[in-house]
Amino acid sequence: MAVNRWLGVFKKPLVIAHRGGALLAQENSRAAFRAAEKANADAIETDVRITRDGILVNFHDADLQRLCGDRRSVAEIDFRTLKSLVPAIMTLAEAIASSAPLGLLLDVKLMDRTYLPSILAEISRADAAGRTLLGLRDIALVKAARDTAADIAILALASDPELHQSAAQARANWFRLWQGELSPGRAASIRGAGMRLAVMVGQPRDVPLPEYPRYPVGLVDAEGLKQIAIADPDAIMLDDPHLLTRP
């Protein structure tokens, strides 16, 4: 396996286009990926779900309500129907190919570890392991992925910022903090545990924090970025890479 770019030496912070660059074009679409590349993003973040007929797709929400007013879940719909409702949707294989040559962060929304081998197989089949960061939402999943693929770079997308020690014990390489959870002390603890720090801007989608920031997920202002910079994160995820890449 090639050396993973997420584990080497790089300029900080890496600029990660959230949902492919959701303010640049339709989220998680080829158009967004290309726009993120033109905006000089270092990497693309996209989401992984599975359809009723077992097709891994890059789709953020659990259901189609927000994007097309359909209350059905992605898991209830076969891929052909989903494609008719959201024409820009890609399979995981297509998303991996379309993200090249940028780095790729896969936010795996699936909590069942039985899907991990299929996801890892798609990454391997595309020879994309060297540029992929696997984002997992449960410490048990981090451990399962590490036991299966010793060299894959893994980001712990833990719901509790205090789980960084558990994530490190499960051998995650990266840990995600929301902007409202970030502090120099927490950043130091994560690095002290041997992991790199990725910051997600905005509010958690389902559990808004009462303190700053006031913006929804993916959005941030100049003052917010200034505060994030104090903690010197290794990567920042946001909808518009231009906020960090413009001179």
Residue 62: pLDDT over 80: yes
What pLDDT, on the 0 to 100 scale, is given for residue 1? 47
Q: What percentage of the chain has pLDDT greater than the value 90?
A: 88
pLDDT band at 2 (very low <50, low <70, confident <90, very high): low
CA dist., res. 5 & res. 71, Å (int): 39
CATH number at residue 241: 3.20.20.190
pLDDT in tens, 205-219: 777 777 777 899 999
The answer to whether 156 touches 139, Cβ cutoff 8 Å, is yes
Residue 224 lies in a domain: yes
Tokens 């995600």 identify what position? 176
Instruction: Please say whether the beta carbons of 137 and 160 come within 8 A.
Output: no
Rounded to the nearest 5°, which phi and psi values hold at 49?
-130, 180
Secondary structure element (H or E) that encloses residue 198, with its range: strand 196-200
Which helix or strand (DSSP H or E) is residue 125 part of?
helix 116-125
84 within some domain: no
Q: What is the pLDDT of residue 214?
A: 81
Q: What is the mean pLDDT of residues 234-241?
A: 98
Is the per-residue pLDDT at 242 higher than 80? yes
Is 101 contained in some domain? Answer: yes
For residue 103, which of 174, 37, 24, 59 has the smallest C-alpha distance? 37
Tell if the pTM clears 0.85, that is, is over it: yes
What dihedral do alpha carbons 208, 210, 211, 214 form, nearest 10°? 50
Burial of 118 from C-beta contacts in 10 A (0-12 / 13-18 / 19+)? middle
The residues pairing with 106 across neighbouring beta strands, listed in sequence order, are 46, 134
Structural domain that includes position 161: 14-48+92-245
Residue 77, in any domain of the structure: no
Closest listed residue to residue 48, CA positions, set 120, 100, 102, 103: 120
Mean pLDDT of the chain, nearest integer: 94
In a domain, 62, yes or no: no
**How much is the pLDDT for 210?**
79
**Per the structure, how many domains does the chain have?**
1
For residue range 20-31, list pLDDT tens digits in order.
999 999 999 999
Q: What is the mean pLDDT of residues 143-160?
A: 94
Residue 59: which region, alpha, beta or left (left: phi > 0; alpha: psi -120 to 50)? beta
Query: 58: pLDDT confidence band, cut at 50, 70 and 90?
Result: very high
Express as a percent the part of the chain with pLDDT over 70: 99
In this model, does residue 135 exceed pLDDT 80? yes
How does pLDDT run across 78-110, given as a tens digit for each residue?
999 999 999 999 999 999 999 999 999 999 999
* Residue 194 is assigned to a structural domain of this protein: yes
> CA 90, CA 56: separation in Å to the nearest integer?
9
Write down the pLDDT at residue 100.
96
pLDDT over 50 at 10, yes or no: yes
Does residue 85 lie in a domain region? no
d(CA 196, CA 70): 38
DSSP 25: S
Is 118 part of a structural domain of the chain? Answer: yes
